[in-house]
Structure 1
Amino acid sequence: MATFATSDQLLVIIDPAARQLDGESVRIAKDVLSAGAAAKVCLPEGPEEFARALGRRGSRRPVVIGDGRALVQTVTLLHRQRELAGCALSVVPVGDTALAESLGVPGGAVAAARAVLDGAERRLDLLVDDSDGVVLGALGIPPAPVRAAARQPVPVSSGRLWYRSLVRTLAPRPTRLPAVPAPGPTRLRVEVDGEPVVDLDQPVEAVSVTPGTGGTASVEVRPLSVGAEATPLLASGRAVTVTGPDFRYRADATVSGPVRRRTWRVAESAWGLVLPSVRDGARTPL
């Protein structure tokens, strides 16, 4: 694992969604980073400005302040520019921290920012599909239902409370949308390194694929169970191909499809993520 000095120059890219969702955490992270290193801060307003800022990083180490989508967006851009292998990426998760934490990044703004300054680069595997998309944490078929993001409380001065209450009273009630049902069983052919794990004659409830270590992916297929729970089918390999009627899939935080065939291949040690250094005999869990 490569370590870094606080004298390194940083390019801090703050995702616009993070600024809107939790400006206080963004401010704290920015202050910690600026106090510990020479940091250039970029505030892109959209994907094009985000990509432009990343492309102009020069010798600066990129640090993304944002959620899982921002992290995946950054890795995807670097991968498609063929610059991922030579770039040590850092992230301070703000918003949905699940993906970053699953990779070993601390969830709190202060701890994550300190890991950027004092941490070390860890090389990680990822999945690359045949449309040049990437998967950092997990792939799921069919995609799990999307959970609505919790609304952040808005501080209101006491002098305006009566006004806000009046507006809520007079405003028409929003139409209640019907709940979206969870995806049902589907028929898929799943192959790992060319060998079938399940075929179209066996309905499945779910398929999950995660990058492992050493250039292999872990695959779990859950057949449709009637009565007693069916035993999951497990496999591992370097390439996973899924074929079947139009299906959608969730790659990290993004739902894609429908497609009828998709292949994911493991790219071993394809990217570097700065994680907390080994201290006091404890190793960062991954």
Structure 2
Amino acid sequence: MAEVATSTTPDLLLVVIDPVARRTDGESVRIAKDVLGAGARMKLCLPEGPEEFARALRRRGSRRPVVVGDDRTLLRAVAVLHRQRELAACALSVVPVGRELDLARSLGVPSGAVAAARAALDGTERRMDLLVDDSDGVVLGTVGIPPLDDTEPEAAPGEPAPPWRRTCRSLVRTLTAARPARPVPLAGPGPSRLRVEVDGQTLVDLDQPVAGVSLTPGGTGLAEVEVRPVSVGAEASPLTAAGRTVTVSGAHFRYRADAVVCGPVRTRTWVVREGAWGLLLPD
């Protein structure tokens, strides 16, 4: 991991640049470095993988972290700080660089490298709610059940997705295509049977097929829950609720947590942590 230090003003930053951002848009990365280096004392870290990325954040000392990368980079940073139980005392900044930037934009982060870097220098911290599941996973934006697309589960934040993984999946599919396999019930594009409980109250039960479920931190210490039931082959009016704890259970189902597809699981519980993390945004 390469590290470079620059200094102009007393502010202390740890700037961690994701390797995918460096390969995807080197020009935006260079602009972000120039703006940040001109406005603060900066330690620059260029990790080559998730372990080095996490190590840099763990060893940041008194430096305020700024991550340069896409939505997965932001998720990985929040997950690392959450596992270290340091989110409450740490204001995070992100300069969005890459292809997947919908989450950062939805949170109010400027899309341009210059504007985002200036927000990292001069912005105001906004405390935001966090969804934490029973496996200690974190969600900043939305949980969708089933995922929007019926793709293979993607790597979780902090887990690499090298080409050999895709090759192995392709080989397994080829070898199993010639013989029937035991079906594993997965919540796919069609209706699913799920039990959704909000603060211990059942919103929908297994006898009612649903087209989808979504959970979003509402910014008020409560999760906003929407269930889209299916009635006689047609989608019925959505059922909505708000609560601090949401449990979904049923047959094996997959879900999309922000940019990551997870599962299959039989049950998952999410709890809202009010104002659990802070993000610097333009005034």
User: Does TM-score exceed 0.5, indicating one fold?
Assistant: yes
Letter matched to residue 203 of structure 2: V
Alignment of 1:1-286 (within 5 A): 7-95=10-98, 96-145=100-149, 183-226=189-232, 229-277=235-283
The size of the alignment, in residue pairs, is: 240
Change in 2 beyond 3 A, CA 1:228/1:188: closer
Deviations 1:191-214 (A, max 9, x none): 000001100011111100000122
Tell me the distance in 2 between the aligned counterparts of 1:229 and 1:201. Answer: 15
Match of 2:179 in 1: none
TM-score, L = length of structure 1 = 0.81
The Cα shift of 1:224 comes to 1.8
Kept after mapping to 1: 8 A contact 2:196/2:246 = yes
TM-score, L = length of structure 2 = 0.82
Partner secondary structure for residue 200 of structure 1:
coil
Q: Which runs of 5+ in 1 are unaligned?
A: 1-5, 148-176, 278-286
Deviations 1:48-82 (A, max 9, x none): 10011111111110000011111111111111111
Letter matched to residue 92 of structure 1: V
The Cα shift of 1:228 comes to 5.6
Give the RMSD, CA atoms, in angstroms: 1.7
Letter matched to residue 275 of structure 2: S
Tell me the distance in 1 between the aligned counterparts of 2:199 and 2:67. Answer: 35
The Cα shift of 1:7 comes to 3.5
Match of 1:173 in 2: none
The Cα shift of 1:115 comes to 0.5
Partner secondary structure for residue 190 of structure 2:
coil
Change in 2 beyond 3 A, CA 1:77/1:109: same
Max radius of gyration: which structure?
1
Deviations 1:6-42 (A, max 9, x none): 6311100001111111111111111111111111110
Tell me the distance in 2 between the aligned counterparts of 1:131 and 1:228. Answer: 34
Q: What is the percent sequence identity of the aligned residues?
A: 74
Tell me the distance in 2 between the aligned counterparts of 1:146 and 1:41. Answer: 38
Deviates more, 1:183-192 or 1:228-237: 228-237
Partner secondary structure for residue 120 of structure 2:
helix
